[in-house]
Amino acid sequence: MDGAEPAAATDAVDATIENQALWLSAKRGSLHIGPAPVTAPGPNEILVRNHAVAVNPVDRLLPVMGDLIAPWLAYPTVPGSDVAGEVLAVGSAVTRFKAGDRVLGHAAFLEKSRNRAAEGGFQRVTVLLEHMASPIPAGMDFAAAAVLPLGLSTAACALFQPGHLALRPPAAGPAAGETLLVWGGSTSVGSNAIQLGRAAGYEVFTTASPRNFAYVQRLGAARVFDYRNPAVIADVIHAMHGKTLAGAVAIGAGSARACIAVAGSCRGRRFVSTVSNPISFDAAPAGWRRALWLVPALARLLAASASLALLARRRGVKTRFVWGGALVDNNIGPMIYAGYLPAALAEGRHVAAPPPLIAGHGLAAIPGALARLGAGVSAQKIVVTL
Ligand SMILES: NC(=O)c1ccc[n+]([C@@H]2O[C@H](COP(=O)([O-])OP(=O)(O)OC[C@H]3O[C@@H](n4cnc5c(N)ncnc54)[C@H](OP(=O)(O)O)[C@@H]3O)[C@@H](O)[C@H]2O)c1
């Protein structure tokens, strides 16, 4: 079922290991559980027995509009980006892990450069890239660890990639003397962006609902604003007076417009990394009604994107959409998963946030978990244990 050739592995893969996966059968196909091959890890890969997986908005959308999100995707595929588990075998060039290690990782099935079912998260065993995995420290359980990968990766892509905010990397050193705006701080992406921004030495301003103010402050935000307050943009601009903006990360509905307005009125880097589409596809139906729903939705997306581009141009602000898996293929992946996260997690400088909400056990619980995510979460990450 997988297109890639199995490569030589240092560890022999135990022939008694069995695999089951939550398959996405075809483009706009259905999810079903079935047997899956056990793929030997290639030289820079590890094979992991998953004990917990987290669900993300993209997992809900793949069966409905995977052809628009990732047109290259080879089917059948196995969705799922966030896994935590135990290493079963390592490839010949792997130096950071050995069988038995507890790890978390960003499963890279969705990336054009990877694009194989063996690297999907929603199965009992997954192949991970060594540079997209980190050890789980003692005292952190698998469910907590599984909340991190895609949120962390997306935040890192927005903050550190040269074509995005290009912030200085997380490292000890003097404060940067600049302020990062994270719009949507209580989201999974935002919770990690706040922590990464702080780790890199930036002051962080963020937005959230009032019930999550204390939560985002615990993650390191210096100031937090209620994004539903009609005066929020003016309030953030006022708070930025005398400060230098390092750029903004826009997460959530309406965030890009708000961040452009703020960045266009501040001193500093007028750059907004946008994480969310300007219109939501969450309500897209499956089946024959999809086309009826999509045509006006895509027209709205085009209109909203054009209006944002115009606003950004008028305000002298640059914007760029983030692809949260881009770090798989550049130096940000190893910088985060090998260079930063292991010590930051072990020393409590980066916490697994938002906290997990366990929605069930076993692959059969994943569709229900996806439906629960669709109903909305607040500063929580939905996790299924395996
Ligand atoms: N481009 C990519 O590669 C990529 C990757 C991952 C995610 N995403 C996108 O990023 C967004 C967040 O995903 P996630 O998984 O991090 O989200 P999530 O954790 O499921 O988001 C839930 C949170 O969203 C907050 N929220 C809702 N509406 C908001 C708004 N208008 N402005 C700011 N915050 C708002 C809520 O905050 P309160 O409860 O405090 O109100 C809630 O805590 C989604 O749009 C997702 O599709 C994109």
pLDDT (tens digit per residue) in 314-365: 999 999 999 999 999 999 999 999 999 999 999 999 999 999 999 999 999 9
Nearby residues of 253 by Cβ (< 8 Å), 6 or more positions away: 276, 280
The pLDDT mean for the chain works out to 95
Per-residue confidence band for 231, with pLDDT thresholds at 50, 70 and 90 = very high
User: Rounded to whole angstroms, how far apart are CA atoms 165 and 176?
Assistant: 14
- Cβ-based neighbour number of residue 217 at 10 Å: 17
Q: 204, 197 in Cβ contact below 8 A?
A: yes
The pLDDT of residue 11 is 72
Pocket residue to mutate for ligand 1, from 53, 251, 329, 383, most atoms within 8 A of Cβ = 251
- Largest Cα separation within the chain, whole Å, is 64
The pLDDT of residue 10 is 60
For residue 376, how far is its CA from the centre of ligand 1 (angstroms)? Answer: 9
Q: What is the mean pLDDT of residues 215-231?
A: 98
* DSSP secondary structure of 275-336: -S-SS--TTPPPTTHHHHHHHHHHHHHHHHHHHHHHHHHHHT-EEEE--TTGGGGSTHHHII
Q: 101, 48 in Cβ contact below 8 A?
A: no
Task: Decide: 151 in ligand 1 pocket, CB within 6 A.
Answer: yes
For residue 117, how far is its CA from the centre of ligand 1 (angstroms)? Answer: 26
User: Which atom in ligand 1 lies closest to the alpha carbon of residue 280?
Assistant: 45
On the question of pLDDT at 13 being above 80, the answer is yes
Which residue, among 45, 54, 49, 40, has the nearest Cα to 8 in the 3D structure?
40
Encode pLDDT of 129-164 as tens digits.
Answer: 999 999 999 999 999 999 999 999 999 999 999 999
User: Which atom in ligand 1 lies closest to the alpha carbon of residue 276?
Assistant: 45
For residue 38, how far is its CA from the centre of ligand 1 (angstroms)? Answer: 34
Encode pLDDT of 21-68 as tens digits.
Answer: 999 999 989 999 999 999 999 999 999 999 999 999 999 999 988 999
- CA 179 → CA 163, 243, 247, 269, distances in Å? 19, 7, 8, 10
Per-residue confidence band for 3, with pLDDT thresholds at 50, 70 and 90 = very low
Encode pLDDT of 76-135 as tens digits.
Answer: 999 999 999 999 999 999 999 999 999 999 999 999 999 999 999 999 999 999 999 999
Name the residue with the closest Cα to ligand 1, atom 16.
Answer: 188
Least confident stretch, 276-280, 357-361, 376-380: 276-280
